[in-house]
């Protein structure tokens, strides 16, 4: 099968969507299918693409917004249709609602190809990126626009993939009808497993970050943006009564400066380490430094970094969210907190009980086998076959 993945976000830019698509593309290729990632140019892409000849990029105009500078607006997308036609695609898989998504819809209309669409983002948590003022003054008006945008893609897709039941229910709450299939995103689990890294290399990285051997490390990995609620982690850490504990925040983003200022204000600068941007290919060893993974986000559609942490054997201490019910088994591979003031006590619970920490680490590794890259690719492939069957029936009925 020849598959076209359309996205506005792809490696080397680091994001959950980029990671998800890379896992899917590589997983499908391992199963013997031809995959083409159709995306935009980005910083560092020319060097990155040398190892991935199946990536096709179109030049675009950077969006002049602080939180959106990594994205590109592609004008006159119609002119790219001829190049994509030469790929002889069997199915289109759309992972974006913007320039590349619009190109995919045009291509579907022109060639009458089956289209699969994946809902990756809870946009109601990201309205501030478009306009902070409007997000505060009239969020309902902005949300109406989001619903209209989502409906546009879901109505054109033969099948719509959602990564969790929460997102499926959200689409139903928007009153958007569609053929929904729940397909959890998969990852290359081996990349995060402890056995893949030498202890001396991990210790070297640990020492380079100024972390002592006897210190307990709370780890956050992800995009540093306002919807991730990292302030909750910092404020909780301030109330923690553990001397030999560090908070390691791995990642970059538009909210980084604000968090550094908050760290100074809370007077915990000696306990918090910001690494800045770490390329996804180099992220594995950082999980090996952690003893527990923290997150307070309410904007996840599934939580890829949660799964990465579990694969590395890290128990999770995370803010409860319905989307995480299939990822986190409370008191087994992690602990939920419902209020910010519960966080310090839960960190102490794991850091001061080695027997509990070891058991939860073991359970963490065992809990993520279902999120393997192979399962992800196989599940997506089944959706493609269903989309093709639906499209063929529609053609027969129309003739």
For residue 358, give the CATH number of its domain: 3.40.50.2000
Cα separation, 324 vs 318, in Å, equals 9
For 354-367, the pLDDT digits (tens) are: 999 999 999 999 99
What's the total number of domains in the chain? 2
The model's confidence at residue 135, banded by pLDDT at 50, 70 and 90, is: very low
338 with 389, same domain? no
182 with 193, same domain? no
20 with 122, same domain? yes
Three-state secondary structure call for residue 272: strand
| Average pLDDT, integer, range 292-315 | 93
For 246-260, the pLDDT digits (tens) are: 999 999 999 999 999
Contacts 24+ apart (CB under 8 A), 258-262: 259/224, 259/230, 259/231, 259/234, 262/231, 262/234
**Single pTM value for the model:** 0.80
282 with 310, same domain? yes
Cα separation, 230 vs 218, in Å, equals 13
119 with 193, same domain? no
232 with 170, same domain? no
127 with 111, same domain? yes
Q: Please determine, for residue 131, whether its predicted confidence score (pLDDT) is greater than 90.
A: no
Q: Please determine, for residue 65, whether its predicted confidence score (pLDDT) is greater than 90.
A: no
220 with 233, same domain? yes
Domain range spanning residue 8?
2-186+372-398
168 with 21, same domain? yes
| Average pLDDT, integer, range 133-138 | 49
140 with 167, same domain? yes
130 with 177, same domain? yes
393 with 350, same domain? no
């Amino acid at each position: 099968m020849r598959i076209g993945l359309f996205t506005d976000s792809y490696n080397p830019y680091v994001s959950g969507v980029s990671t998800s698509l890379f896992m899917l593309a590589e997983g499908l290729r391992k199963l013997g299918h031809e995959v083409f990632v159709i995306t935009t140019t980005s910083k560092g892409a020319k060097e990155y693409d040398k190892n991935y000849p199946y990536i096709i990029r179109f030049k675009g105009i950077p969006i002049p917004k602080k939180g959106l500078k990594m994205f590109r607006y592609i004008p006159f997308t119609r002119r790219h249709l001829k190049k994509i036609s030469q790929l002889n695609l069997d199915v289109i898989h759309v992972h974006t609602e913007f320039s590349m998504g619009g190109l995919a819809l045009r291509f579907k209309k022109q060639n009458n190809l089956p289209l699969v669409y994946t809902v990756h983002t809870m946009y109601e948590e990201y309205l501030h990126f478009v306009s902070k003022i409007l997000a505060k003054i009239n969020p309902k008006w902005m949300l109406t626009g989001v619903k209209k945008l989502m409906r546009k893609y879901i109505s054109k897709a033969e099948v719509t993939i959602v990564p969790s039941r929460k997102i499926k229910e959200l689409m139903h709450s928007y009153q958007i009808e569609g053929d929904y299939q729940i397909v959890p995103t998969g990852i290359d689990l081996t990349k995060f497993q402890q056995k893949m890294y030498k202890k001396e290399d991990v210790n070297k990285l640990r020492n380079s970050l100024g972390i002592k051997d006897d210190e307990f490390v709370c780890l956050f990995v992800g995009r540093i943006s306002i919807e991730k609620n990292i302030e909750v982690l910092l404020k909780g850490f301030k109330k923690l009564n553990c001397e030999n504990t560090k908070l390691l925040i791995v990642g970059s983003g538009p909210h980084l400066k604000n968090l550094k200022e908050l760290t100074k204000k809370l007077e915990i600068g000696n306990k918090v380490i910001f690494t800045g941007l770490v390329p996804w290919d180099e992220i594995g060893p950082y999980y090996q430094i952690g003893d527990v993974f923290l997150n307070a986000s309410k904007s996840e559609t599934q939580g890829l970094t949660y799964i990465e942490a579990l694969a590395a054997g890290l128990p999770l201490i995370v803010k409860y969210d319905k989307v995480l019910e299939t990822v986190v088994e409370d008191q087994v591979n992690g602990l939920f907190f419902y209020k910010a003031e519960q966080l310090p006590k839960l960190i102490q619970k794991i850091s001061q009980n080695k027997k509990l920490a070891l058991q939860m680490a073991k359970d963490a590794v065992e809990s993520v086998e279902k999120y393997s890259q192979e399962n992800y690719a196989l599940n997506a492939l089944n959706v493609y076959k269903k989309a093709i069957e639906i499209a063929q029936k529609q053609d027969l009925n129309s003739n």
